[in-house]
Amino acid sequence: MGSDCLTPEWASQPCLIGIDEAGRGPVLGPMVYGCMYCPVSYQSSLASLHFADSKTLKEEKREELYENLKLDNSLGWAVDVIDPRELSAKMLAKNKTNLNEISHNSAMGLIKRVLDMGFFLTEAYLDTVGDPEKYRIKLSERFASIKFVVSKKADSLFPIVSGASIVAKVTRDRALREWLVEEIGEDINRNFGSGYPGDPETKAWLVQHKHSVFGFPSLVRFSWGTCTALLKGEVEVAWEADETEESGNGSSSKRQAKLSSFGFKTCESRSEEIESSGKGRCKFFQTRKIQQLTQF
């Protein structure tokens, strides 16, 4: 997602890019990285566009500025929308990727995308994630031809980053408003507040939509500590793969057989009838039309 794919004439001129994110802290919804880029010769004109840190602007003003920058032929923009399920999967995987690393990879992915479109990037301005100098060195090693400025509060210091902040924030806000709730069979409302862990309305929403076995809807980042705390005392799930790794080839085979045969009564026609009809099954499986396999 981004500005038109047609490369403008100014792409061959020295260009600068600003990068910022929205939604790093919330327990709900995607994290969005946004970038804005333009010719270095246009940099002095950015101040007249009245960009500012998106967090300091009202929603109506952010929307107005976003629509304006889309119409400016001297500006380009792009976003990377990172799904909450992707965030959770990477942070909870066996070989974990922490949030800082995910953020770095997203920012570098945006830079690469703009370079691949044929833009001559010579300067880049980023709001820091972690130690500013270490982040700058990491970026410089990946893109040696670009001069990097990495700073705290960069969205307040550099208009090009302020513009990127607006792009990211508006994109995330729209994504939340238009989020397609996949759990269509569940009674899910959208009154989830700001989405931040400390918001009482968000906490109440999480409690209301918590399932004792399956956790939370796909809108929620399972890897956040808020979710871990809320799921304490709920049903504990034993994963076959974990048992195999911990037990070795000896006792794990018995455990595997136990897990594999649990709930599979293939010899009884009555149970087959119930299974095929979906009656008596958990609502979670019914709404997703997940069927039980009796033969592999």
What's the sign of the alpha-carbon dihedral 93, 241, 228, 172? positive
What is the distance between the alpha carbons of residues 258 and 254, in angstroms, rounded to a whole number? 6
Closest CA to 21 of 171, 124, 222: 171
The amino acid that residue 143 corresponds to is F
Q: pLDDT of 207-226, one tens digit each?
A: 888 877 777 888 898 888 87
What is the distance between the alpha carbons of residues 222 and 87, in angstroms, rounded to a whole number? 9
Q: pLDDT of 93-131, one tens digit each?
A: 889 999 999 999 999 999 999 999 999 999 999 999 999
Q: pLDDT of 63-93, one tens digit each?
A: 999 999 999 999 999 999 999 999 989 998 8
pLDDT score of 14 = 98
What is the distance between the alpha carbons of residues 12 and 276, in angstroms, rounded to a whole number? 62
pTM of the model: 0.76
pLDDT score of 269 = 45
What is the distance between the alpha carbons of residues 151 and 136, in angstroms, rounded to a whole number? 9
What is the distance between the alpha carbons of residues 217 and 245, in angstroms, rounded to a whole number? 29
What is the distance between the alpha carbons of residues 221 and 226, in angstroms, rounded to a whole number? 9
Average pLDDT over residues 179-192: 72
Residues in binding site: 20-21, 127
**The pair of three-digit structure tokens given for residue 140, joined into one six-digit string:** 């410089």
pLDDT at position 172 over 90: yes
Average pLDDT over residues 12-29: 95
**The pair of three-digit structure tokens given for residue 220, joined into one six-digit string:** 């929620």
Q: How many residues would you count in the chain?
A: 296
Structure confidence at residue 282 as a pLDDT band (50, 70, 90): low
Bridge partners (DSSP) of residue 81 are: 32
Q: Please indicate whether residue 287 or residue 27 has the higher confidence score (pLDDT).
A: 27
pLDDT at position 277 over 70: no
Helical pair 99-116 and 84-92, crossing angle rounded to 10 deg: 120
**The pair of three-digit structure tokens given for residue 86, joined into one six-digit string:** 């992707």
Closest CA to 25 of 211, 202, 204: 202
Q: Three-state SS for 44?
A: helix
pLDDT above 90 coverage of the chain, percent: 50
What are the C-alpha distances in Å from 262 to residues 112, 170, 198? 48, 47, 40
Residues in binding site for a divalent metal cation: 20-21, 127
